[in-house]
Amino acid sequence: MAVKLELYKVFKEVAEAGNITAAAQSLYISQSAVSQSIKQLESDLQTRLFARNSRGVTLTADGKLLYEYVRSAIGLLETGENKLSQTRELQMGHLTIGASDTVTSQFLLSYLEQFHRLYPAIHIRIISGRSHKVLGLLQSGKVDIAFASTPAEGSFETTPCFSTHAIFVASPEYPCPFDKPHTLAEIAAYPLILLEHKASSRLFLEKYFLQNGLHLKPEIELGARSLLVDLAAIGFGVAGVTEEFVRKDLEAGRIRKIATNFEIPSRSVDMCTLQGVPQTAAAKRFADFIRDSVK
């Protein structure tokens, strides 16, 4: 097919020039090479494409029919090449990111703003979801980049972006000794407000308590992180939250951190891409943008 495409390019040039000599000069090949290409194409198609005259050549009826399709096809190929060039130069393109609403608002927002200012022609789409969801979308090719909490080892290339720490908070008026270091058992005995079971931070928290012989039995399970703070702030119980995501509420005095005599291991929120899978120019540039920023 590649050989025949070259023949069609020669055919198109001759048809437009109306002269083999002029076509050869334009293509930077010999006249004999042009003539041989036309003869081969006519042989392959079993029809005569040009009629020769004293001034050069003109298209036959079959040649005119073929020319319209060849001109259209080569035009589309050139357009495709131009579009690819624009994509490589980030003059156009698409980028799809998978991340939770919290990670988007607390971490990605400033980077998205800067990237959009630098590359306004890139269309950015964000698909919201918890870690397990966005990693699944990444594996299925539905997102270019995913941001997830400590993904399991697998076919991912990861870049740590920031660490998170689990803490327990309550309303400042909640009847508990905030400054007294609590044990795991004392925390587990409170009416707990936690994220729903499928949330990776909830699973991590439960695993830590189970490793220490305790099973968490929350009174309230929620799907939205913001509701953890809202319900804790009005005295419904003790909420297990991510410290980095509730700093404003802590500083504003809506909630207060409960002291503990234990420290739950930190977790990493990572930027994830697929190993061995080429990225689009837009995705590669955004990934490099994040890597350079978090070094």
Predicted confidence at residue 150, as pLDDT, reads 67
Q: Residue 152 — pLDDT band, cuts 50, 70, 90? A: low
Residue in 244, 239, 217, 216 with CA at minimum distance from that of residue 227: 239
Q: Where in the chain is the domain with CATH 3.40.190.10?
A: 93-163+268-294, 166-265
How is residue 245 annotated by DSSP? G
- Least reliable range by pLDDT among 29-38, 53-62, 76-85: 76-85
Structure tokens at 122: 């890139």
Alpha carbon distances (Å) from 264 to 48, 239, 280: 81, 15, 38
Q: Residue 191 — pLDDT band, cuts 50, 70, 90? A: very high
SS3 254: coil
Is pLDDT above 80 for 177? Answer: yes
Predicted confidence at residue 153, as pLDDT, reads 61
Q: Residue 2 — pLDDT band, cuts 50, 70, 90? A: very low
Most confidently predicted of 4-13, 125-134, 253-262: 253-262
Homologous superfamily (CATH) for 166-265: Periplasmic binding protein-like II (3.40.190.10)
Structure tokens at 2: 């590649």
How far apart are alpha carbons 29 and 38 in whole angstroms?
A: 13
Q: Rounded to the nearest 5 degrees, what angle is found at the Cα of 215, between the Cα atoms of 240 and 171?
A: 25
User: 3.40.50.300, 3.40.50.720, 3.40.190.10, 1.10.1050.10: which CATH number matches 93-163+268-294?
Assistant: 3.40.190.10
Mean pLDDT confidence for 277-283: 84
Q: Rounded to the nearest 5 degrees, what angle is found at the Cα of 51, between the Cα atoms of 50 and 52?
A: 115
Answer with the residue of higher pLDDT: 181 or 120: 181
How far apart are alpha carbons 283 and 125 in whole angstroms?
A: 11
Mean pLDDT confidence for 176-181: 96
Q: Rounded to the nearest 5 degrees, what angle is found at the Cα of 58, between the Cα atoms of 57 and 62?
A: 125
SS3 220: strand
Mean pLDDT confidence for 61-79: 86
Residue 284 CB coordination number (10 Å): 17
Predicted confidence at residue 290, as pLDDT, reads 93
How far apart are alpha carbons 114 and 97 in whole angstroms?
A: 15
Residue 93 CB coordination number (10 Å): 20
- Residue 253 Rama label (left phi>0; alpha psi -120 to 50; beta): left
273 forms bridges with which residues in the sheet?
A: 157
* Mode of pairing for the β-strands spanning 192-195 and 122-128: unpaired
Mean pLDDT confidence for 214-231: 93
Mean pLDDT confidence for 60-74: 89
How far apart are alpha carbons 81 and 294 in whole angstroms?
A: 34
How far apart are alpha carbons 206 and 145 in whole angstroms?
A: 28
Predicted confidence at residue 161, as pLDDT, reads 93
How far apart are alpha carbons 39 and 43 in whole angstroms?
A: 6
CATH class entry, domain 2-88: mainly alpha
> pTM score, two decimals?
0.66
Buried b (16+ CB within 10 A) or exposed e, 214-251: bebebeeebeebeebbbbbbeebbbbbbbbbbbeebbe
- Least reliable range by pLDDT among 135-139, 207-211, 217-221: 135-139
Mean pLDDT confidence for 106-119: 91
Structure tokens at 270: 């990572």
- Least reliable range by pLDDT among 1-5, 146-150, 170-174: 1-5
Helices 20-27 & 31-45, crossing angle to 10 degrees? 110
Q: Residue 224 — pLDDT band, cuts 50, 70, 90? A: confident
Predicted confidence at residue 172, as pLDDT, reads 97
How far apart are alpha carbons 236 and 210 in whole angstroms?
A: 24
Q: Containing H/E element for 157?
A: strand 156-164
Residue 20 CB coordination number (10 Å): 22
What's the gap between Cα 43 and its chain centre? 49
Is pLDDT above 70 for 87? Answer: no
